[in-house]
Chain A
Amino acid sequence: MSHVGTVDCFVTDLADAAAGGEACGFELRQNQRSYTWYGQYVGDSQLAPGHDPATFGTCEHVLRLKDHREGDYEIGLVPRVDGEPGWELLYDSWGPGSRIEARAGQRLAKLKDEIAAAASERVLRRQGYRVTRTVNAETGAIQVRGTR
């Protein structure tokens, strides 16, 4: 039998966040409870669904640029608003946030893909699969394949 499942990706294991972050030039700082951003929500961007601007800047863990310099913004790992285990990634794209997007992609797409690939590889290896990864040079899409 065969089937196809579609999954919206979140961080469910900090090891995946560390590995995905490493691939994009970030370091995971566990238990850092705040992330750097503009500091005030001025209503000039669309809010992530379910998030309260009053909580912006607070988090459970942080991804920081490995070549962090003064004034850089950071990415916060905040609990999922749907109540499921794991974290969502929040950051401020304004101003210094462009340095984050230069590494992690717009809306953190590249970082999220790397985290998902790390999670896939981790679980496949645990289940005894031989794992290979390929990247589409044109689209950046990642394919992880497990065979046994």
Chain B
Amino acid sequence: MISETIVIDIVDGQAVVTSKGFTGAACLKATADIEKALGHKTSDTPTAEMRTTAATVKTGAGQ
């Protein structure tokens, strides 16, 4: 079983929140509370892993 991991890198009053190992869009939900607790979200970028998975889902839906 793949574990779910959330990593928060903090320096100079700014945090980068990275999620790994989640199924579907669960990563967004899992990190939302952390981002809310930290303050003001300035950007949100899917990683290559997320883009690949999203593309696969989209292709499957069209079949």
Query: Does A45 sit at the interface, judged by CB under 8 A?
Result: no
- Considering only residues 5-19 of chain A, those with a C-beta below 8 Å from chain B are 5-10, 12-13, 16
Interface string of B10-46 (1 = CB under 8 A from A): 1111111111111111111011011111111111111
Contacts of A147 in B (CB 8 A): 3-5
Contacts of B33 in A (CB 8 A): 123, 126-127
A-B contact pairs, 20 of them (CB 8 A): A1-B46, A3-B31, A4-B46, A6-B14, A6-B17, A6-B44, A7-B15, A7-B35, A8-B39, A8-B42, A9-B39, A84-B39, A116-B8, A117-B8, A119-B38, A126-B33, A140-B11, A141-B11, A143-B8, A143-B10
Q: Is the CB of B41 within 8 A of A4?
A: no
Interface string of A118-145 (1 = CB under 8 A from B): 0110111011010000000001111111
Whole-angstrom distance between the Cβ of B19 and the nearest chain A Cβ: 6
**Range of interface residues on A (Cβ < 8 Å):** 35 or more
Residue ranges of A at the interface with B (Cβ–Cβ < 8 Å): 1-10, 12-13, 16, 82, 84, 86, 107-109, 112-113, 116-117, 119-120, 122-124, 126-127, 129, 139-148
- Given A2-B18, A5-B35, A82-B40, 20 other A-B residues pairs in contact with their CB atoms under 8 A: A1-B49, A2-B47, A3-B27, A3-B28, A4-B46, A5-B43, A6-B41, A7-B15, A8-B14, A86-B39, A107-B13, A113-B12, A116-B8, A116-B39, A124-B6, A141-B9, A143-B10, A144-B7, A147-B3, A147-B5
Q: Is the CB of A129 within 8 A of B14?
A: no
Whole-angstrom distance between the Cβ of B7 and the nearest chain A Cβ: 5
When chains A and B are docked, how far (Å) is the Cα of A5 from the Cα of B14? 11
Binding site secondary structure of chain A: mixed
When chains A and B are docked, how far (Å) is the Cα of A16 from the Cα of B31? 18
When chains A and B are docked, how far (Å) is the Cα of A147 from the Cα of B22? 11
Whole-angstrom distance between the Cβ of A106 and the nearest chain B Cβ: 10
Q: Is the CB of B12 within 8 A of A109?
A: yes
Q: Tell me the nearest residue of chain A to B18, going by C-beta.
A: A4
